[in-house]
Amino acid sequence: GEDVEQSLFLSVREGDSSVINCTYTDSSSTYLYWYKQEPGAGLQLLTYIFSNMDMKQDQRLTVLLNKKDKHLSLRIADTQTGDSAIYFCAAQTWSGGGADGLTFGKGTHLIIQP
Amino acid sequence: GAGVSQTPSNKVTEKGKYVELRCDPISGHTALYWYRQSLGQGPEFLIYFQGTGAADDSGLPNDRFFAVRPEGSVSTLKIQRTERGDSAVYLCASSLGARHNEQFFGPGTRLTVL
């Protein structure tokens, strides 16, 4: 089955860019997602990218996909204290019945230094 | 409703007891997913409904776990003979339909088995 890997921690200074990396194993993954989870809060969908794209930009967020290497990254420009959270990478395949359940990584804790 | 709701928010039970966890999806969403998130882990897929039927139940860990969605809206996850290892946050998500990829998550039910 699919396996999604992320580093567990990333520490950046406020105002710098954060880059969170993810690798996945199933080359048939159709959509790749980034979710944000703040303490005591639910999972918030940040952005996603379709597998035939290599980049997607949405305000301060940039997603890069290297399908050959099965590598996904999320860049957050001008990181703020409010960006402090756990960021989950997730992969999804589509079967005959439609969109399958998501396979998540363990999450990357983004720590912001003042 | 405005978002996915789950009840109860917290459930404490004793080993061996039966529990039911409820999920109300976003109005009009026909696809519904259950996940389980253990401490320090990413969410793990359990089961997916399209309408009233379970389209994929491959993530259910064993036959103590069962889920229903009799009218194609509200879903109930049922756990028999609970074990301490079942302690986790149980998350529900919904999407517009099988051909729509964006899943929106509820706040979860924290289950503690003593």
**Residue from B26, B89, B103 whose CB has the most chain A CBs within 10 Å, to mutate:** B103
Q: Is B79 helix (H, G, I), strand (E, B) or coil?
A: strand
Q: What's the token pair of residue B22?
A: 């409820």
Band (pLDDT 50/70/90 cuts) for residue A101 is: confident
pLDDT per position as a tens digit, A44-94: 999 999 988 999 999 999 999 999 999 999 999 999 999 999 999 999 887
Least CA distance to A105: which residue of chain B? B42
Is any Cβ of chain B less than 8 angstroms from the Cβ of A65?
no
> Number of CB pairs < 8 Å for A and B?
70
Q: Is A3 helix (H, G, I), strand (E, B) or coil?
A: coil
Asked whether A72 and A89 are in contact (CB, 8 A), the reply is yes
Asked whether A56 and A49 are in contact (CB, 8 A), the reply is yes
Between CA A105 and CA A24 the distance in angstroms is: 9
pLDDT per position as a tens digit, B61-81: 999 999 999 999 999 999 999
Which strand (E) or helix (H) includes residue A112?
Answer: strand A108-113
Whether residues B91 and A43 touch (CB distance < 8 A) is answered with yes
Is any Cβ of chain B less than 8 angstroms from the Cβ of A39?
no
